[in-house]
């Protein structure tokens, strides 16, 4: 099986909804149940890429496939993404040649008292990434949840002559456990985005798994929305809702698998790529990089 890694670096906040919620957030994002990390389902990635493979008529409108009551795909699109069942007897459709894995969290941005902001990652996030990429890395051990590996010159402050460097991420103080040497390796992962490649080496910090989980759950953006009444031009009563968004500058990665290297190379991935809902209000635009 051949594998390529697709990196998605959010340029704007991203919302891939999980449906209704019983909590204070009416429209939460999709998360892993056991870690709380936000994810982008493989079906969402496949869907937006498959939309690029539709056949168009002379006016630029998608052609309809009368046998399947769906938009017609090009031959390459049908090969890579598959076809649904048709109306003809025995036409059960076919699966695509590429498997689209769920995009997992690699780096999550939070506020920093020094350096403006910091990307947080954790041993679990790094070990998963290494498993997917085949990269051999040595992840430093974190014995206490108030310790962190980070660039002391960029993110740390020394309090007193004999005090060790500390950093303030959101409202939590982290004591310097050492320099995060893997930051330079991770900075090469999404080489298409100048924000990531310029800042990652000095703005990445390694924290405990539980700390990353805490921030991934509590530090996402929450935007309030209303439905406007067309007649009055004001908000409709009872239609205020809260929507959770993954913040801009979050880094995800997904595994693309196929038995054919040719098919993986044939797959066209736009840069930037819009993923998730609310595209017309600017959400979900991501820098893409395939390695």
Query: Each residue of 155-191: pLDDT tens digit?
Result: 998 765 555 789 999 999 999 999 999 999 999 988 8
Is 90's pLDDT higher than 90?
no
Q: Could you tell me the pLDDT band of residue 3, with boundaries at 50, 70 and 90?
A: very high
Is 19's pLDDT higher than 60?
yes
Rounded to an integer, what distance in angstroms lies between the CA atom of residue 53 and that of residue 51? 5
Write out pLDDT tens, residues 24-52.
Answer: 788 899 999 999 999 999 999 999 999 88
Is 138's pLDDT higher than 80?
yes
What is the average per-residue pLDDT within 228-235?
A: 77
Full DSSP string of 47-69: HHHHGGGB-B-TTSPBPEETTTT
Mean pLDDT of the chain: 90
Write out pLDDT tens, residues 65-83.
Answer: 888 888 888 889 989 998 8
Is 151's pLDDT higher than 80?
yes
Parallel/antiparallel/unpaired status of strands 204-206 and 117-121: parallel
Rounded to an integer, what distance in angstroms lies between the CA atom of residue 142 and that of residue 270? 38
Residue 120's nearest CA partner among 11, 29, 251, 6 is: 251
Torsions phi, psi for 130 (to 5 deg): -65, -40
Residue listed under structure tokens 């990429």: 133
Residue 39's nearest CA partner among 252, 223, 186, 189 is: 252
Is 95's pLDDT higher than 90?
no
Q: Could you tell me the pLDDT band of residue 54, with boundaries at 50, 70 and 90?
A: confident
Q: Could you tell me the pLDDT band of residue 217, with boundaries at 50, 70 and 90?
A: very high
Residue 136's nearest CA partner among 185, 180, 192 is: 185
In the prediction, which pLDDT does 163 show? 59
SS (H, E, C) 102-129: CEEEEEEEEEECCCCEEEEECHHHHHHH
**Residue 130, helix vs strand vs coil:** helix
Please state the length of the chain.
291
Is 100's pLDDT higher than 70?
yes
What is the average per-residue pLDDT within 276-283?
A: 92
Model's pTM, two decimal places? 0.92
- CA angle in degrees (0–180, nearest 5) for 280-45-33: 100
The pair of three-digit structure tokens given for residue 70, joined into one six-digit string: 């769906």
Residues 6+ apart with CB under 8 A from 139: 123, 126, 127, 130, 182, 206
Torsions phi, psi for 251 (to 5 deg): -110, 125
Q: What percent of the chain has pLDDT over 90?
A: 66
Q: Could you tell me the pLDDT band of residue 203, with boundaries at 50, 70 and 90?
A: very high
Residue 44, sorted as left (phi over 0), alpha (psi -120 to 50) or beta, turns out to be alpha
């Amino acid at each position: 099986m051949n594998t390529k890694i697709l990196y998605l670096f959010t340029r704007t906040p991203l919302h891939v909804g999980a449906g209704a919620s019983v909590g204070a957030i009416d429209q939460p994002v999709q998360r892993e149940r056991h870690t709380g990390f936000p994810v982008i389902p493989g079906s969402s990635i496949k869907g937006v890429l498959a939309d690029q493979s539709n056949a168009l008529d002379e006016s630029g409108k998608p052609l309809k496939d009368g046998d399947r009551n769906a938009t017609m795909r090009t031959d390459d699109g049908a090969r890579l993404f598959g076809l649904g069942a048709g109306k003809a007897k025995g036409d059960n459709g076919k699966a695509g040649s590429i498997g689209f894995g769920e995009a997992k969290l690699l780096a999550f941005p939070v506020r920093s008292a020094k350096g403006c902001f910091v990307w947080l990652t954790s041993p679990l996030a790094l070990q998963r990434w290494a498993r997917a990429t085949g990269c051999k890395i040595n992840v430093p051990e974190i014995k206490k949840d108030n310790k962190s590996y980070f660039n002391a010159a960029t993110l740390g402050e020394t309090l007193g002559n004999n005090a060790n460097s500390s950093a303030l991420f959101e409202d939590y103080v982290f004591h310097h456990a050492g320099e995060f040497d893997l930051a330079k390796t991770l900075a090469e992962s999404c080489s298409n985005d100048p924000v990531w490649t310029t800042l990652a080496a000095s703005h990445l910090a390694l924290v405990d798994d539980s700390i990353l989980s805490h921030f991934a759950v509590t530090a996402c953006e929450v935007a309030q929305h209303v439905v406007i009444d067309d007649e009055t031009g004001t908000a409709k009563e009872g239609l205020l809702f809260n929507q959770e968004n993954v913040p801009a500058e979050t880094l995800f990665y997904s595994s693309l698998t196929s038995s054919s290297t040719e098919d993986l190379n044939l797959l066209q991935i736009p840069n930037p790529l819009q993923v998730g809902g609310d595209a017309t209000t600017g959400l979900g635009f991501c820098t893409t990089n395939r390695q």
